Amino acid sequence: MNKKLNTALFLIAASLVNIILIILCFLLFSFIVHLLIPAPSEGAAGVILILIFFLSFGVSFFIYYKLMKLLSDKIDLETYFHPIFIPKKK
């Protein structure tokens, strides 16, 4: 496989991992809130759902960032992947 194909496959896999992390965080936080507040009022449930949604995004991106940092520390990514953003020549 060449670098461009490696890059494309890595981006697809990394996106899927990030989506799975978001879903897992959302389910985990929903479960925790359900344990803490068994039956919130209708208005509070909407606010809690929105907060859980944004918290899931934040936590999943933080975990994703740490995983990518760990991966880039262990593996020299430039040898396997094509650069995504190439600086313009002047």
Question: What's this model's pTM, rounded to 2 decimal places?
Answer: 0.77
Q: Rounded distance, CA 2 to CA 31, Å? A: 43
Answer yes or no: are the C-beta atoms of 4 and 81 closer than 8 Å.
no
Answer yes or no: are the C-beta atoms of 68 and 14 closer than 8 Å.
yes
Structure tokens at 31: 């479960």
pLDDT tens digits, 41-84: 778 888 889 999 999 999 999 998 998 888 888 887 776 777 76
Inside any domain, residue 90:
no
Inside any domain, residue 39:
yes
Q: In total, how many domains does the chain have?
A: 1
Inside any domain, residue 7:
yes
Q: How many helices (H) and strands (E) does the chain have?
A: 2, 0
Inside any domain, residue 84:
no
